Structure 1
Amino acid sequence: MIVAVILVVFPFAMIFAALSDVFTMTIGNRISAVLIGSFLLVAPFIGLTWADFGMHLAAFALVLTVTFALFATGTMGGGDAKLLASTSLWMGFGPALADYLLMATVAGGAFTLFLILFRKSTFAVYAGEVPILRRVIDEKDVPYGVALAIGGLFAFPDSPAMQWVIERLAA
């Protein structure tokens, strides 16, 4: 059961956050709440020590503090800040968190560049006829949830929870 929760909830939440951000330019609080709640549910079963669990909480708190400061300055959306922090809870301090932040940054830069070029192209005129795509084309902002999802899915195999799943499935 725990294996199924880990394999389904985190990837689904990442994909849902990306799609939600593309189509509505928002990432709902429920997505972050599901990520936090599901981690708290599985953490006792994946072999984390109290110190490890504390480090996951510390990663969450640190990322939340930094991203809320970015939100307060208007640099980042609130949904993005909460998604970054709740994903960091799953990663903990370590290589998975570094991979997540690096990949989300690279994916965010590439996606932003793509959107800038696309919005200035003739394809944007035709894509604007599709109601679902119109919001992304007309907005000045970037749905950064896409980059956060790419980063999260990229780093997820290195997360302690997924490493625990891999050990169970390999046995």
Structure 2
Amino acid sequence: MIEAAILIVFPFAMAFAGVSDLLSMTIQNRVSLILVVSFAVLAPLTGMPWDLYGMHFVAGAAVLAATFALFATGTMGGGDAKLMSATAVWLGWNLGLAEYLLTMSILGGLLTIAILRYRSSHFAVAYTERFEFMRRLARKDVGVPYGIALGLAGLLTFPASPLCLWVINRLAHI
């Protein structure tokens, strides 16, 4: 049961956040809240040592502090900041967090370039009539739905996370 919850909650939240940001340019607060609460409940059930458990929350707090500064300057959206922090809680204070941040930065840069190219292309005019989210993406006064990069980076780095490795280890010994 614990294994199933770990393998469902995080990946679903990452996918939901990415799609939600693409379609509505918002990441709902409940996504980040579900991630933090589910980690808080599930991690102790895996036998995670309390000091390591605490360091996962330190990682989330550190990322929240950095992303809050970016939010305050208008560089990042609030939903993005909260999602990054909640993701950091799941990944912990380790190289997996650095891998997530690097992956997210690369994917975010590629996403930004793709959207800027889309905005200056003839596709932006041709497809904006059919889909509201495409109209929003074509607007030059709207930001980039960075939740797509956050969600995809989370999905790519999740297999090396402590909880996912715990599940893999448990399933390997069945």
Runs of 4+ in 1 over 6 A off after TM superposition: none
State TM-score, norm by structure 1. Answer: 0.97
What's 2:155 paired with? Answer: 153
Q: Which consecutive unaligned segments of at least 5 residues does structure 2 have?
A: none
Match of 2:144 among 142, 149, 155: 142
**C-alpha displacement of 1:127:** 1.6
In the TM superposition, what whole-angstrom CA distance separates every residue of 1:121-143 from its partner, at most 9, and x where no partner exists? 01111120122322222253000
Find the aligned partners of 1:37 and 1:46 in 2 and give their Cα distance.
15
Find the aligned partners of 1:107 and 1:15 in 2 and give their Cα distance.
15
- The two structures, once aligned, show a CA RMSD in angstroms of 0.9
Amino acid of the residue matched to residue 137 of structure 2?
A: V
Secondary structure at the residue paired with 1:86?
helix
Find the aligned partners of 2:16 and 2:137 in 1 and give their Cα distance.
16
What's 1:75 paired with? Answer: 75
Secondary structure at the residue paired with 1:47?
coil
Q: Which consecutive unaligned segments of at least 5 residues does structure 1 have?
A: none
Aligned 8 A contact 2:136 2:142 in 1: no
Aligned 8 A contact 1:95 1:158 in 2: no
Matches within 5 A, 1:35-46: 35-46=35-46
What's 1:128 paired with? Answer: 128
Alignment identity in percent?
A: 52
What's 2:85 paired with? Answer: 85
Find the aligned partners of 1:92 and 1:150 in 2 and give their Cα distance.
18
Amino acid of the residue matched to residue 17 of structure 1?
A: A
In the TM superposition, what whole-angstrom CA distance separates every residue of 1:21-55 from its partner, at most 9, and x where no partner exists? 11111111000001011101101112211110111
> How many residues are treated as equivalent by the alignment?
171
Amino acid of the residue matched to residue 136 of structure 1?
A: L
In the TM superposition, what whole-angstrom CA distance separates every residue of 1:85-139 from its partner, at most 9, and x where no partner exists? 0000000011210111000000000000000001100111112012232222225
Secondary structure at the residue paired with 1:118?
helix
What's 1:22 paired with? Answer: 22
Amino acid of the residue matched to residue 58 of structure 2?
A: A
